[in-house]
Structure 1
Amino acid sequence: MGAKKPALHFVRRQVARILRQVLAGNTQHRALASIKSLVYKPSIVAKKATLALICNTLKYLPVIKDIVHSVGLLQGRKNKGQDELFYVLTHDLLFEQEILPSGKEEIFVLSRKAALRAAFVRLMMKKNVTEIDGLLPTESRQLQSCDIPRYVRVNTLQITVDEALEKLEELGAKVDELLPDLLVLPPGTDLHDHSLVLQGSIFLQSKASCIPAHVLSPDPDWEVLDACASPGNKTVHLAALMKGKGRVTACELHKKRLQVLQDTVKRAGANNIQVKHQDFLKLDPNASDYRKVRAILLDPSCSGSGTTVQRMDHLLPVANDDPEFQHDAQRIDRLASFQKAALCHALSFPAVERVVYSTCSVNQRENEDVVQSVLEHARSHKFKLGTVLPNWPHRGLPVFDGAQHLLRTDALRDKTDGFFVALFVRERSQTFEQQRKRKSSEIEERKTKRKKKKQKKLN
């Protein structure tokens, strides 16, 4: 018990600091940093307990605030900087977690224990519910109960899929049915400190995020351009699909993000990637460095509205106050203008055969509308829309003829991030369909071999 007191005391204050940082983004209708990125900083200890407590406190924060203010818990207190700690302590009190008098804040909350619990009961009676989840909005309950599997992409530059599967099989890992280099583990599996992650043999990457590189499907000897590359997960995925051959040029305009990109490339051991501190829109398609580029991956800045669950932005109070909190019209219009300009520029490279445009957004304005706006320009350069993963059941919104070629993913429905993917294929390229069929055949062959190997092991 002696070790438990200071541990809880410290974790709660750590959670309160993170909560303060997260709530600071409310005025911008966006978290200043994702909850996970704040929790998984090197300075944070007891990460699993910290993540659980911050998520649960945020989940029930509207209820907690209602109760705290109804009993005047924060009134008359001089140090307003401790509000978040009182929210955390009230959370633990409501959920009957042990609170010991290890600090003056704990002592004060314990002195108001009866009043806080009575206020909770009154609120439940007022709302005519029998459990605390009944106090949450329906949409919020759906998102918060969305158990997304832990996906990990195998970095085949360092390790084979079968080798990774063998090392992670005891954790329940299975090979994804759609993407052959992706492993699926149970929701909540924590691999952040796993040796395979630290050495770059596997990457913690959502299923949706792995789709664009697979759709681009560059040949090993090609020259490929990743237009907006940081943090680099898709960049190193391309390098792996090319078996470490050819060349991937990765562009990143922002200096801080450039360092993240370089770190990712180094960790992956991808020697066929050339990182450039460069604005993609200022590249000359006819310059000697780019006139042989055969494929371009364009995953530009977007609203990120599809990563709500992954970032845990749906836990922010502003999301409960305004369900459209990420859909600020002016911001979306600015992003869409940049996205359209970048896509037109990508289609202007003389030797390019395939361009993949993807976003982690669910907004039509950034997705179907952008694609539709460049169709005439695309046709002038002999491009047409290719069908993205034909077997995927969920297509683009039917807002123009051809939207059935596009792909959408949804967090609740597909148990991954909300993503949008479009593929442009130059009509003079006759090999794309043959390459797609060949790769599908190779995937099926690997699946068959894996099943036979598993059966042999069982026998």
Structure 2
Amino acid sequence: MAKIYLEAGRVVDDVLSGRSGLKAALYAQQLSSDPRAVCKLSSCTLSNKAAIAEALEHVGLDHHSHGMMLVMAYELLLGHGLRGGGKLRRELEGHATELQTAFKKSSQHSEVLSEQREAFSSLPRYVRVNRLQLAEDLEVLRRRLTKALRRAAGSEPKHAEATRVELDAVVPNVLRLPAASRRWLRELPEVESGALVLQDRSSCLSALAAGLVPGSFVLDSCAAPGSKTAHAIELLQARGRLAAFERDPKRAAALLKRLRLLVGFAEKSPRRKGRYGPEAKSEVSVLKWGSQIRGRCWAGGATGAEGVEVDVHVGDFLDTNPALPPWNQVDVLIVDPSCSGSGLPEHHLIDATAETGTSRRVQRLAAFQKRILSHALSFPKAKTVVYSTCSTLRLENEDVVEEVLCRYPGFEVVEALPWWQNAPLKPATGKPLPSWAKNCLRSDPVTHKCRGFFLCRLDRLDHLAHGPGDSDPPPEQSRRKRKRRLTTSAPRTEEIQIPSKDKAKAFLAVPKAKKGSGLRILRRLAKKQLVGLSALQSLLKKKS
């Protein structure tokens, strides 16, 4: 049996069970096949899942491993034909004619070309220009890339339209290409070196909306795979600090690899303390929970003390204590938590009605999103918090912000990017949207020709230095100052009860015991009646 069918089948099973989305399911698998091939096969299978399942049920082949059967049926009906598969292959090929007929007659198959699905299937490819590596003028770069793509695609006339490169009219430093150009894009040297970043235009909005300025301390709560994090580092212009959190060690390793490629991340050398640079780079062979990788980003020609200081934490952002350093100095937080992915192409290709506000998975995700946004707003020096999801569901977007804002009235929703024009809002079926909802940013695949996306920028009110109940933590004093204060301040006293010979109780005020003072021993002796009152008084006089 071809191993790729087995691995793609496991991914499909994970997605259909509701345990995870497509991306998370791919990361969770130990793949021996090409990950891109597994991703493509799984996504294409899920896009036609309803029609394939109905055809399998019609011919009586729905009793096998569900995910793997769907994958192999897709490969037989719409793919390149089966390459291995043992008993399942023989059964599928034995019913090939019946499956083809049932698939074409499937009622679900006629709905594939809906407006939204058609929009997703023809989405352009977007490329962000990494200004840390490319300072070239956009128009000059556009012409040069057009020529390079035409050389890679060949001289056939049918490829001329697929290699057209345009400047994005809305998002700065972004190029737009036809969907068919994807097969040649990855072969460009600029893409391999990280000078051009394959990133959807909606994904570029988070860092832009944060309003980053050089010298800021930025925290990215859910950083992997790293394109948004690298964009934020670029906007800091070689001055500032960024902390990136990722729970999963595998995704954290992918994040580090991405940062090295895009922004020149160099780890702090473990051998020569305080030294950075290319010689300090070392591959992180094993990352585990609690690992912290510190370094600087040197892309863009930063030298000396310049460069953005970057800390990558393999752990949970919710475990941080905002009252303690360094977290009590964070200026900006970028919060892009796990979501249902209802704005992604693979979600809508699976089933546009699969995830609704009543889905248990979406409700669990919304509860998690409220926790992580509440935690972000509790940072005492945070001036801006950017909350975003790749979901189009109100339960994960406006409802999350509305509930959290009730607990943190020290923040308000402001207009993040005035130049972005939202698509007209659909009439609310339940309660009306809050008045601040007009300031939120939404992208729609039909209107904006990109993935579905939601973004909300929350700024701290000017007249409130802190959120409700927040206060500056007391300044931490050094050990030397703390010891000096204890030796110069008046000693605190406490009473020791000692029974005398006439069984009456006498009380003696004794300085409260301190470690290493010797008074602790005297106290214990007195309490055990091994030292009388007069003897203790004389000992104390000698001690003083």
Shorter-chain TM-score above 0.5: yes
1:138 CA drift (Å): 5.7
Q: Cα gap change, 1:164/1:63 in structure 2, threshold over 3 Å: closer, same or farther? A: same
Structure 2 residue 418 is matched with structure 1 residue 390: yes
Structure 2 residue 9 is matched with structure 1 residue 20: yes
SS of residue paired to 2:327: coil
Structure 2 residue 454 is matched with structure 1 residue 420: yes
2:520 — aligned with what?
Answer: none
Structure 2 residue 124 is matched with structure 1 residue 87: no
1:285 — aligned with what?
Answer: 322
Structure 2 counterpart of 1:283, which letter?
T
| Residue 406 of structure 1, aligned match among 430, 436, 440 | 440
1:444 — aligned with what?
Answer: none
Q: Is the 8 A contact 2:11 2:25 kept in 1?
A: no
What stretches of structure 2 of length at least 5 have no aligned partner?
148-162, 266-296, 298-307, 464-544
1:356 CA drift (Å): 1.0
SS of residue paired to 1:179: coil
Structure 1 counterpart of 2:250, which letter?
K
**Which string of whole-angstrom CA distances, capped at 9 and with x for unpartnered residues, describes residues 367-422 of structure 1?**
11121123344433xx3221122232327775112211111112233222211111
Scaled by the length of structure 1, the TM-score of the pair is 0.71
1:53 CA drift (Å): 6.6
- What is the alpha-carbon root mean square deviation over aligned residues? 4.0
Structure 2 residue 165 is matched with structure 1 residue 173: yes
Q: Is the 8 A contact 2:357 2:395 kept in 1?
A: no
Structure 1 counterpart of 2:436, which letter?
G
1:214 CA drift (Å): 0.2
Q: Is the 8 A contact 1:30 1:326 kept in 2?
A: no
Structure 2 residue 339 is matched with structure 1 residue 347: no
Q: How far, CA to CA, are the matches of 1:361 and 1:173 in structure 2? A: 28
Structure 2 residue 268 is matched with structure 1 residue 266: no
Structure 1 counterpart of 2:392, which letter?
V
2:302 — aligned with what?
Answer: none
SS of residue paired to 2:194: coil
1:314 — aligned with what?
Answer: 348
**Which string of whole-angstrom CA distances, capped at 9 and with x for unpartnered residues, describes residues 296-321 of structure 1?**
111122222222x0xx23343xx37x
**Which string of whole-angstrom CA distances, capped at 9 and with x for unpartnered residues, describes residues 353-378 of structure 1?**
22211111212122111211233444
**Which string of whole-angstrom CA distances, capped at 9 and with x for unpartnered residues, describes residues 405-455 of structure 1?**
1111122332222111111223339xxxxxxxxxxxxxxxxxxxxxxxxxx
Structure 2 counterpart of 1:137, which letter?
E
Matched-pair identity in %: 31
Structure 2 counterpart of 1:202, which letter?
L
Q: How far, CA to CA, are the matches of 1:342 and 1:104 in structure 2? A: 48
Q: Cα gap change, 1:101/1:364 in structure 2, threshold over 3 Å: closer, same or farther? A: closer
1:275 CA drift (Å): 1.5
1:218 CA drift (Å): 0.7
Q: How far, CA to CA, are the matches of 2:83 and 2:207 in structure 1? A: 52
1:150 CA drift (Å): 0.6
Q: Is the 8 A contact 2:391 2:454 kept in 1?
A: yes
1:3 — aligned with what?
Answer: none
SS of residue paired to 1:229: coil
Structure 2 counterpart of 1:135, which letter?
H
1:143 — aligned with what?
Answer: 117
What pairs up with 1:217-228 in 2 under 5 angstroms? Answer: 217-228=211-222
Q: Cα gap change, 1:73/1:360 in structure 2, threshold over 3 Å: closer, same or farther? A: closer
Q: Is the 8 A contact 2:222 2:245 kept in 1?
A: yes
| Residue 211 of structure 1, aligned match among 205, 221, 244 | 205
Structure 1 counterpart of 2:123, which letter?
I
1:14 CA drift (Å): 6.6
1:63 CA drift (Å): 3.6
Q: How far, CA to CA, are the matches of 1:159 and 1:260 in structure 2? A: 23
State the structure with bigger RCO (CA 8 A, min sep 6), 1 or 2: 1
Structure 2 residue 218 is matched with structure 1 residue 239: no
SS of residue paired to 2:175: strand
SS of residue paired to 2:375: helix
1:67 CA drift (Å): 4.1
Structure 2 counterpart of 1:237, which letter?
H
**Which string of whole-angstrom CA distances, capped at 9 and with x for unpartnered residues, describes residues 179-233 of structure 1?**
2122211113223444323322222211111111101021012121112222221
Scaled by the length of structure 2, the TM-score of the pair is 0.61
**Which string of whole-angstrom CA distances, capped at 9 and with x for unpartnered residues, describes residues 242-279 of structure 1?**
12221112122333332222222112214122212343
What pairs up with 1:29-178 in 2 under 5 angstroms? Answer: 29=18, 33-34=22-23, 44=33, 58-71=46-59, 83-84=69-70, 87-88=73-74, 90-92=76-78, 123=105, 135-137=109-111, 142-146=116-120, 147-160=122-135, 162=138, 164-170=141-147, 171-178=163-170
Which of the pair is proportionally richer in helix?
A: 1
Q: Cα gap change, 1:195/1:413 in structure 2, threshold over 3 Å: closer, same or farther? A: same
Q: Is the 8 A contact 2:14 2:25 kept in 1?
A: no
Q: How far, CA to CA, are the matches of 2:7 and 2:251 in structure 1? A: 22
1:328 CA drift (Å): 5.3
Q: How far, CA to CA, are the matches of 2:118 and 2:141 in structure 1? A: 30
Structure 1 counterpart of 2:441, which letter?
L
**Which string of whole-angstrom CA distances, capped at 9 and with x for unpartnered residues, describes residues 326-362 of structure 1?**
6554433333333223323322333322221111121
* Deviating more after overlay: 396-405 vs 98-107: 98-107
Q: How far, CA to CA, are the matches of 1:105 and 1:329 in structure 2? A: 33
1:325 — aligned with what?
Answer: 355
What stretches of structure 1 of length at least 5 have no aligned partner?
1-9, 128-133, 430-459
* Deviating more after overlay: 174-183 vs 27-36: 27-36
Structure 2 residue 175 is matched with structure 1 residue 198: no
Structure 2 counterpart of 1:247, which letter?
R
Structure of higher CA gyration radius: 2
Q: How far, CA to CA, are the matches of 1:293 and 1:53 in structure 2? A: 42
Q: Is the 8 A contact 1:226 1:296 kept in 2?
A: yes
Q: How far, CA to CA, are the matches of 1:275 and 1:298 in structure 2? A: 15
Q: Cα gap change, 1:428/1:186 in structure 2, threshold over 3 Å: closer, same or farther? A: same
1:59 CA drift (Å): 4.0
Q: Is the 8 A contact 1:297 1:355 kept in 2?
A: yes
Q: Is the 8 A contact 1:21 1:32 kept in 2?
A: no
1:434 — aligned with what?
Answer: none
1:372 — aligned with what?
Answer: 402
Structure 2 counterpart of 1:332, which letter?
V
Q: Is the 8 A contact 2:103 2:109 kept in 1?
A: no
Structure 1 counterpart of 2:111, which letter?
P
Q: Is the 8 A contact 1:22 1:32 kept in 2?
A: no
SS of residue paired to 1:183: strand
